[in-house]
Amino acid sequence: MEKILVTGATGQLGSELKVLSENYSQYEWFFADRTAISLNNIKLLKEQLELIKPTIILNCGAYTAVDKAETETELADVVNHLAVEVLATYAKEHGVKLIHISTDYVFDGTSSTALNEDAVTNPINVYGATKRAGELAAMVVNPDVLIIRTSWVYSRFGNNFVKTMKRLLQERDTISVVNDQIGSPTYAADLAQAMMEIVTAQEWIPGIYNYSNEGEISWYEFVLAIQEITGDSCEVSGIPSSSYPTPAARPAFSLLDKSKIKEVYGVTVPDYKESLRKCLKFKV
C-alpha cells in the first residue's frame, strides 16, 4: 500500500486533506505535525523521512507569517527553502512523488492580466523570496517535483481572513478593508481535492501549476461577499494599502491563471462565492 505523508498536517490545507483522506482508503496516510516532521531542522528532517518512508509527499507545511518573516528571515528560509530542497532530494532518491505548495507571493504585483506558470517571478517580501527559493531548489534537484502555486487560502480550520472577517462583521459597526490588492481566494478543501485528483491521475506530469478559485476580486470585495452570505449589517468601507501599512509589502495584483491545471489534469475549479458558501456552512 502506498503511504502518503502530509506535512503541516494541523494547518488549513493539512486539516482539509485529513477530512478528505476518508475517501481515499486505498492509501496509508501519515499526518505529520511539527514534531513528526521538523521542517525547521534539516538534519532531523532527513532522519524523520527515512523513518516514515513515504511513497507520496504532500508538502503543506510552510512558514507563512508574512510580516514576521521580515525579521525571522533565517527561519523562513530554512522552512520554505532548505527543507523543500531536502524533501525534493529525498523524493528523487527514493522514487517518491512530491507535491509542494507555493504561493502567488512569488510575483511583484505589477501585472494587469492573470499570471500563468511562466510569468516572471520577482518577490517583494521575504516570505515570497523564500518560497521562490524553495521552488527553484526543488526543481534543480528533482525535475519530477510538482509545484502548485495558490493564493489567499482559507478554511474552516485554523486562523484565516474569512474567520477573522466573519467575527469582525458581527462585533463591529464599521470595518475598513484594503481595496487595491487584486487576486482570488482559495478554499483549502477545493485545493485538497485538486491535489488528490493529481495523486490519483493515470499519468504524473511534473512542473508548476496554479490553483485558486475562479473570480477576480479585492480583499474588500471578498468581505462584501462574506457579508452577503452572513447577512451582518456592519458598514464595510474600502481603503488603499497605503492606509494600512504592514512590515511586508503585498503584491497589488496576483490573480492566477488556472488554465494549465484544468487542461493537464482535468481539475474543476469552482467559483469563489460557491466555495465561500460551502465553507461558511460550517461554524467557522
Where helices occur in the chain by DSSP H, the ranges are 12-20, 42-52, 73-77, 83-94, 126-141, 161-171, 188-199, 219-230, 259-265, 272-280
Phi and psi of 16, rounded to 5°? -70, -35
The DSSP code sequence of 28-77 is EEEEE-TTTS-TT-HHHHHHHHHHH--SEEEE------TTGGGT-HHHHH
End-to-end Cα, the chain, rounded Å: 35
Confidence (pTM)? 0.97
Enumerate residues 6+ apart whose C-beta is below 8 A from 163: 154, 284
Evaluate whether residue 265 is within a structural domain. yes
Which amino acid, 174? T
Range of the structural domain that residue 125 is part of: 3-159+186-214+255-270
pLDDT at residue 283, as a whole number = 79
Q: Which three cell numbers stand for residue 12?
A: 488549513
> How many domains does the chain divide into?
1
Evaluate whether residue 283 is within a structural domain. no
Evaluate whether residue 132 is within a structural domain. yes
Question: Among candidates 60, 85, 73, which has minimal Cα distance to 135?
Answer: 85
Q: Which three cell numbers stand for residue 181?
A: 490588492
pLDDT at residue 284, as a whole number = 73
Question: Among candidates 151, 185, 174, which has minimal Cα distance to 233?
Answer: 174
> How many Å apart are CA 24 and CA 196, to the nearest integer?
9
- Among residues 63, 105, 127, 187, the one annotated as catalytic is 127
Evaluate whether residue 171 is within a structural domain. no
Which parts of the chain have pLDDT scores under 70? none
Enumerate residues 6+ apart whose C-beta is below 8 A from 60: 6, 7, 8, 9, 11, 13, 14, 17, 101
3-class secondary structure, 189: helix
Evaluate whether residue 234 is within a structural domain. no
What CATH code is carried by the domain that includes residue 194?
3.40.50.720
Which amino acid, 197? E
Q: Which pLDDT tens digit goes with each residue over 118-170?
A: 999 999 999 999 999 999 999 999 999 999 999 999 999 999 999 999 999 99
Evaluate whether residue 56 is within a structural domain. yes
Enumerate residues 6+ apart whose C-beta is below 8 A from 159: none
Evaluate whether residue 12 is within a structural domain. yes
Clarify whether 209 is annotated catalytic: no
pLDDT at residue 259, as a whole number = 98
Given phi > 0 = left and psi -120 to 50 = alpha, else beta, which region is 159? Answer: beta
Evaluate whether residue 170 is within a structural domain. no
Q: Which three cell numbers stand for residue 265?
A: 489534469
